[in-house]
Structure 1
Amino acid sequence: MADEAIQAAAEQIERAQTDKALRPSIAGFFDESTNTVSYVIHDPATCEAAIIDSVLDYESASGRTSNSSANRIIEYVTSKNMKVTWLIETHAHADHISAAPYLQQKLGGKLAIGRGIIKVQDVFGKLFNAGTDFERDGSQFDRLFDDGERFSLGTIEGIALHVPGHTPADMAFIIGDAAFVGDTIFMPDFGTARADFPGGDARQLFRSIRRLLSLPDETRLFLCHDYKAPGRDEFAWESTVRQQRENNVHVKDGVSEHDFVEMRTSRDKTLSMPKLIMPSVQINIRGGRLPDPEDNGVSYIKIPVNAV
């Protein structure tokens, strides 16, 4: 059966490649403490903007949060007189906390994520013993995207693609000729995302990546993280489908699904858990909001002992 969502995304990209007015302007904001790239994407014709994968600053030793990373984005948006219509999360991150609620309070916009967040809420709601007060229906978000669902950013077309494997909720968002692929894939010299978190699946990840790499060769791919591969001195977060197909060290053309799954599974067994996984997931499944304060007015992060 034809992949109608990918076909629609490819047609959208091709239109944008031939018509400059259909291409978004993109600014990346790199947070070196979490190796995360947040993006502000806007339509030059209308100044409507989307913010993807924002970062809330968090000091794990003290449990204190701050907003310097988010404030950089606010300053940029306001300096360009943009109107934020979307606050998008590619998935419930395990390596940083989302600043979406803070940005929404300051700038507006609808908070969106893939519908798979419901599965992630169920799994981690049990792990953190979140209780019956924690809704596991995605209601913490304003919009839950399904595979192939269309949206717009001003006059620019957008389409959401479900790309599970790293987590069940991972989505890629195609806006004009640009694809924001979250944690599916990294720069060609670094490879691909891990697939050993609860609900992750290396075989699914391979298929999701190959699905993305079936988009037109010159599709611009914007990545959520960079860790500077050995031998590279600069951080980087943009590539193309062609570059990934020719050079990705884990999943370039010619790598079989079997070989990828074997490599990814073996490699993941050697990796430590992200240092912020406990606070990040616990907050991000709530749409970036802290757990409700207890009777002393303080919010608490749970750390399950010997449970993972």
Structure 2
Amino acid sequence: MSAQIESFFDADSSTFSYVVHAGPHSACAIIDPVLSYDPRSGRTSKVRADEIAAFVRTHQLQVQWLLETHAHADHLSAAPYLRAQLGGRIAIGEHICQVQKVFKTVFNLEPEFHLDGSQFDHLFSADECFQIGELKAQALHVPGHTPADMAFVIDGDTLFVGDTLFMPDVGTARCDFPGGNAHQLYRSISRLLAYPPATALYLCHDYPPAGRSARCRSSVGEQRAHNIHVRDGISEEAFVQMRETRDRGLPMPVLMMPAVQVNIRAGELPPAEANGVRYLKIPLDNL
């Protein structure tokens, strides 16, 4: 039975989330779900997550996995909310521990915050195989954007690539976050683009130029022919020079500070303080 894919777009963060399943009544995986957050008011919203939950319930799917491609810096994860509503296990790559170590120091998190990834239900090792019901899946370690990035291969012909690649007219992910590395990103992308040309690539983000709407799907062949950063014929050295020069001029994502400190907790908000209120920290002059 082939995979069926439903996409959900959060325009505020330009993020695509997905439900992957094999038809009504089957097991499913939810990939990169978004918890909306308004930085002006400090309020969260479950509107996008509830759209996913409604789809799952309408099609009578059983949530087996809530998959994170990495600890996102541009949106908060809705994984724990959806797990409470629908069940399933929250999973990410095992190198999340490296990211946690860096950001526990940046945010001076509470001593009880562990650096072993235990906030997640499962940590994928590199190239680990797993199942989504009857669908075969594999978790590929594709570092570069961050040390913990994963791509998920479904039935050998569909790839969820997270932030490694964008649409060909947009290019590739930045590498200037802590632990990012442009050489690693080039090699990770090269691994993904070694799949057959017809292989479908589902992206985590799209930032479309004027004149086209947001798209979530590309292909290996399309990327190899047209990606403005890594199409065929662009060397690793040329890519690294371009990427590092470009990254030096990019502003930090608007939601990086709230998003990372939540997402390294598997999407859980920080513990409430003595007054019963949860707080996010904003380090000053520290990044």
Among 73, 87, 98, the alignment partner of 1:119 is 98
- Distance apart, 1:232 and its partner CA: 3.4
- Distance apart, 1:45 and its partner CA: 7.3
How many residue pairs get aligned? The number is: 286
Aligned equivalent of 2:174: 194
Matched residue type, 1:218: A
Among 222, 229, 232, the alignment partner of 1:253 is 232
Alignment RMSD: 0.9
Matched residue type, 2:181: D
Among 183, 190, 207, the alignment partner of 1:210 is 190
Q: TM-score, normalised by structure 2?
A: 0.98
Among 149, 156, 160, the alignment partner of 2:135 is 156
1:51-90 Cα deviation digits (max 9, x unpaired):
0000001111110111000000011110001110000000
Aligned equivalent of 1:110: 89
The aligned runs of 1:243-282 (5 Å cut-off) are 243-282=222-261
The aligned runs of 1:56-95 (5 Å cut-off) are 56-95=35-74
- Distance apart, 1:46 and its partner CA: 5.4
Gaps of 5+ in 2: none
CA contact (8 A) 2:168 2:222 kept: yes
- Distance apart, 1:155 and its partner CA: 1.0
Matched residue type, 1:186: F
1:271-293 Cα deviation digits (max 9, x unpaired):
10000000000000000001111
Runs of at least 4 residues of structure 1 off by over 6 A? Answer: none
1:178-200 Cα deviation digits (max 9, x unpaired):
10000000001110000000000
1:224 aligns with 2:204: yes
1:152-182 Cα deviation digits (max 9, x unpaired):
0111100010000000000000112210000
Aligned equivalent of 1:16: none
Gaps of 5+ in 1: 1-20
1:253-282 Cα deviation digits (max 9, x unpaired):
100000000000000011100000000000
SS of 1:289's partner is coil
1:302 aligns with 2:277: no
1:30 aligns with 2:20: no
Q: For the residues of structure 1 that align with 2:87 and 2:60, how far apart are their CA atoms?
A: 13
SS of 1:58's partner is strand
Percent identity, please.
55
